[in-house]
Structure 1
């Protein structure tokens, strides 16, 4: 968007933003504001056209380029499905027919602001802008445009989610409401290993070493596809210690090994059954078990809203409150980035006693007059 600014001399200078979003001004000045605005608009249009490495390629609609680029992305199927929804709902309506070489930084900012104003959540807005930016970065790499107008755009941070974790009393109250020993095992495994649901559902007997008390987190069950993936989230295979009492409980349930989980593996051949299954021996599905077992138990326990995934947060909170270092907790949870584990940092024992001791020291000035 070009404009004109009035100088002390009374003349006008045209101002615009280039393809990188940087402010630029014309050297020539004008006696009339309208002439300065027209000149700035022409300069801005020229800068926008120069963003295309190949002018003909830059005239391609973004949607056409996205169709070509989409299959080349090296992302998980679950990410591809989620991004497809974001593209259909938020990106295509705005950008599908827009020539890729004419997308400006200001346009992207206005679009992001409009998404937020429409009620789209901050996290979704950030994901949508990131998806657009990645597609434009690929266009730069393909020499269709020379710069990525969506790169580095700063957006307001979303509201930080407050993690839900159970106290020991709340946990015991829920467990007391579970209908079967099998359900007890499912909940104990989630709460005392910190596994994600898909990791627990895809936990194979060959990955359980009872003599060492170790669960090796490798395969993951993908509920939407019904397939077994060869690695957990973040591709971080990890060993998690299992308490002796839970090892004993699990051992009693693993007397007969069917030799295979009965599920299709994306990679390799299955060589053992699953550690935890339904009563009929099929894979556990969160969408089924939560509604049938978990939510009724939580409601009867009267502890408020709580998801099975919150047992993972509970695991982290119990470890930290008992003095396990934050870095170690991050490794047990399989976090790729240490920053992910920082959301639990407030649960670590602090130095409150020394702070309170300092505040309660003698010699504080006497307060005079009324307070309030």
Structure 2
């Protein structure tokens, strides 16, 4: 928070306002305490940004809905949005717009620079992992939500133009082939260190490529283990409602409704769970109850990795089993169209964007082109 320091001089007493902006100490002096207190309040209300505080003064006479009110109006007009997505929108508003300088501004007054200041503020927010900042992808999602709301504002006649347009967002640092792809030997080592209760689940994930929320929602009726080709049918997944409570609903996309073949070795592992499930969930925690990502990580994934002796910075995430599955399928000769269906991607473009670089033909042709270009 900003602070005021009284400065007594021979001729007059002045009041120095001090605050930290962008990691640096700033100050300015006022001739009277009342004015200094007004600007202190403005700084405290606008994220210690003098630019934002000055904008707030300039916009004091502009009326109309605020940005927070616009965001709520925007989501109230959306159609075909599930409770889980609506909950994410509301949490975005509460966590990243309510109480911010941008959130308090009238929609008609928001300028390009106001959004830039908000982006910079968001970049400094902590990420999920300790000691990290918010991921660029996460920031991009919130910015996209804001931009869509300003498109709605134009349609409703609240303002002209979208102040989000043209803003270059930061990108996450990348290098080499992205995502963590486990080798078969790495997975076997992890599997050997795994609590036996959880082995069927993780083997099932790496064999089928299902999303965590899809696999943990499965019931016995979703499995066909004794057909010519054993399969699992994906038709549901765990969701979060507006209050953050979990429920089982439709899967992520239309193409997420799919039938996925299973290897014989996986069938042997999951059969006891399927037969014991009755009307309940097939995969549960050891003491019963649905598997949640946090509990599964703490009780199974992390302990197994620790037993392997692999340094933590080289651990794969649970979600990386899905990427690992994709890499193994490609290694086995599956094309991207087949893989896209198997993974339940809405578009083959998604599959291509994530995994095309793993295709042997891609690497071979790339090597050939590079060799030809460098030939002397």
Q: Same fold (TM over 0.5)?
A: yes
1:165, distance to aligned residue in structure 2 (A) = 1.6
Q: Does 1:214 align with 2:231?
A: yes
Query: What is the Cα deviation at residue 64 of structure 1?
Result: 2.7
Partner of residue 307 from structure 2, selected from 300, 309, 331 = 300
1:227 to 237, 247, 250: 247
After TM superposition, the score normalised by the length of structure 1 is: 0.69
Q: Give the match for residue 144 of structure 2.
A: 130
Q: TM-score, normalised by structure 2?
A: 0.68
Cross-structure match for 2:269: 249
In structure 1, the residue matched to 2:154 is: 140
Report the CA distance between 1:79 and its aligned residue.
3.6
Give 1:114 deviation, angstroms. 5.2
- Per-residue deviation at 1:325? 0.8
Partner of 1:345: 356
Q: Who is 2:186 aligned against?
A: 170
Equivalent pair of 1:222/1:228 in contact (CA under 8 Å): yes
Q: 1:63 offset after TM fit, Å?
A: 2.5
Aligned counterparts of 1:233 and 1:309: Cα–Cα separation in 2: 15
Contact 1:58/1:144 (8 A) holds in 2: no
For the aligned residue pairs, the C-alpha RMSD in angstroms reads: 3.1
2:90 paired with 1:88: no
- What is the CA–CA distance in structure 2 between the aligned matches of 1:302 and 1:330, rounded to whole Å? 34
Per-residue CA deviation, residues 103-128 of structure 1 (Å, 9 max, x unaligned), is 23343345435544776542233223
Is 1:196 paired with 2:221?
no
Assess if the C-alpha contact under 8 Å between 1:199 and 1:221 holds in 2: yes
Q: CA–CA distance in 1 between the matches of 2:118 and 2:361?
A: 43
Which has the larger displacement, 207-216 or 100-109? 100-109
Q: Which of 289, 298, 320 is the matching residue for 1:310?
A: 320
Q: Tell me, which stretches of 5 or more residues in structure 2 are unaligned?
A: 1-60, 126-132
Q: Return 5+ residue gaps in structure 1 as ranges.
A: 1-55, 262-273, 366-372
After TM superposition, list the pairs within 5 Å mapping 1:1-372 onto structure 2: 59-74=64-79, 75-92=81-98, 93-113=100-120, 115-116=122-123, 120-151=134-165, 153-160=167-174, 162-180=178-196, 182-210=197-225, 211=227, 212-222=229-239, 225-229=245-249, 231-235=250-254, 236-256=256-276, 258=278, 260-261=279-280, 274-303=281-310, 304-341=314-351, 342-350=353-361
Cα distance change on mapping 1:329 and 1:357 into 2, 3 Å? closer
Residue 279 (structure 1) shift: 3.9
What count of residue pairs does the alignment treat as equivalent? 293
Q: Which residue of 2 aligns with 1:45?
A: none
CA offsets 1:37-77 (integer angstroms, 9 cap, x no match) = xxxxxxxxxxxxxxxxxxx9963322233333344444444
1:312 Cα deviation after fit: 0.8
Deviation at 1:256, TM superposition (A): 4.4
Distance 1:90 1:302, change over 3 A: same
* 1:91–1:128 CA contact under 8 A, matched in 2: no
SS at match of 2:248: strand
Question: Partner of 2:150: helix, strand, or coil?
Answer: helix
Question: For the residues of structure 1 that align with 2:69 and 2:160, how far apart are their CA atoms?
Answer: 18
- C-alpha distance after superposition, 1:313-338 (max 9, x if no partner): 11011111222112221221111133
Q: Deviations over 1:251-310 (max 9, x none)?
A: 23333453x33xxxxxxxxxxxx2222344432222212211211111111333122211
Indicate conservation of the 8 Å contact 2:71/2:146, yes or no: no
* Native 8 Å contact 1:58 1:145 kept in 2: no
Secondary structure class of the residue paired with 1:255: helix
Structure of greater Rg: 1
CA distance in 2, matches of 1:70, 1:354: 47
Matched position secondary structure for 1:221: strand
Q: Is the 8 A contact 2:215 2:237 kept in 1?
A: yes
SS in 1 for 2:233: strand
Alpha-carbon distance in 2 for matches of 1:78, 1:331:
24
Q: What is the CA distance between 1:193 and its match in structure 2?
A: 0.4
